[in-house]
Structure 1
Amino acid sequence: MKPTNLQTKSLLRISALGFALAASASFAQQTETFTFTADLPSNFAYKAIAEYVPAKGETCTVPGGRNTAVGYNMKWRESYTPNSEIAIYRTVSGCLLVISRIKLDINSSYGKERGDFGGDFATVVITNELEEKYKSSFNEAGESTFYGHCQWLFRTSGKPRILRKILDCKSAEANGELDRGHPFSAYTLDQLPGKTVKMKIKLAGTERPAIKDTWVKVPDGWKRCMGDNFEDQYAFCFGNHEDFSTFQMVDGRTCTIYPGCTE
């Protein structure tokens, strides 16, 4: 039976309403955001890359996977801000994408040259479903915090034995107790809209050698073992706690003890 004009108009209204609701839902999805921020030690900065994949139910792909990630604080030395507003959904090449992970670099400079910095990493995972025991929670203010503990490790490098520093960061509990692995947090998509995810990092008050049996602890700091000779790049102590070498600080000073330089 052919529909009447009234029935046709009603069907058109219903169709238009359905389209409007679908478009509204899609727009709402694509405009949802959350804030990522960090509470870091002095002279620290984070660099973040938010990675996106096709949303659940989507069969589309992005040609070459291009533009499926967004970077924040990529030039952290020149311009850094602790707060990053991150979109939960993005549309790229007509494909609706959803955030799946935030890759985080924790960086800090210890000298003036561009290479005088140490870094380690942290990760935030975001998925549709997650077992409760793995899911991070939010407080009444809409903030979720995960913790890390970093420590500087020092070593010497090259023929002049220049001091280099490595940043080592571990996951931690709120009370400071260390966990295994790197700083990490996980959420489901429905937890995030309008919320704040914070990474809080504490820096150890002491440094330690990066390689065992290469430095000897003395009352005022650490002394570098000589090894076979000054050209010995490994220079393990092997029980010889009498013969030490000088080393060079990143500022060019020749030193005999770290961190005070002179005894």
Structure 2
Amino acid sequence: MILQNTFFRKAKQVSGMSKVYQSWYSEGVAIHYVSNSPWQVYPALQEFLQDNQFPQGSIHLRLVSTQSLILGKPGKHKLDTITSILEDFPQRKFILIGDSGEIDPEIYAKIYHQYPDQIIKILIHDVTSARAIHADRQAASQPDGFYDSIKKFMAGELASTSSRPGRVNTSSEKAMDAMLNPEIHEDQQQIMDPNIPLKTKLEQFEQRMYTVSAGMRYGVFTVFSMASQLLLDPQVAEEIYMSKKSSP
């Protein structure tokens, strides 16, 4: 959840990702950090980037208001921000990096189909497979009926909460609900369900990536598990080389 990730958990980078960014930055690549986090966390985000030795770059965070939280469309901030950056630099080409835990793949697919000539590569960090495997192992270690008990408890708790006399569903409550729900994809919500076999979860993820990448140029869309894979990508390496060669 956004609030938990922002205020209660220590931010953690994908292992080796700062080295990848530093390598590209040293080759003349400009970095734009686009996040769905609210602008109020800018100091913490800046500290995180500095502590983990990420290169300098523009930072684009979300402006939060009650109206935007309640009525805002999922992915709108990232979509609008990245689109604006592409339009501000029409002669530049871009690498879009995100992860499978949210709706980054779907957002990037929309951007690609609108600006195919500007997108060199879409790189998606696979966090889904590891989470599914971990959840499967956790479920196997729990006694029978453990998850059913949790479901019954949560159902009862929700029912009792919604039936409290005098409860009014105010705008502030709706806004808080929206803040507590990040733009995650539905397959992430199914990962913890022990009734869905691990094989099915992984197949659903594979199908999702296949659907998202449909209609793209060959090799544009890549799912990775380790940051070191990015430094070995031939398309990215070739584009950086050609860009340096054409620079005065």
Q: TM-score range by the shorter chain?
A: under 0.3
Higher helix share: 2
1 or 2 for the larger relative contact order (CA 8 Å, sep ≥6)?
2
TM value normalised by structure 2: 0.24
Instruction: Give the TM-score normalised by structure 1.
Output: 0.23
In proportion to residue count, which structure has more strand? 1
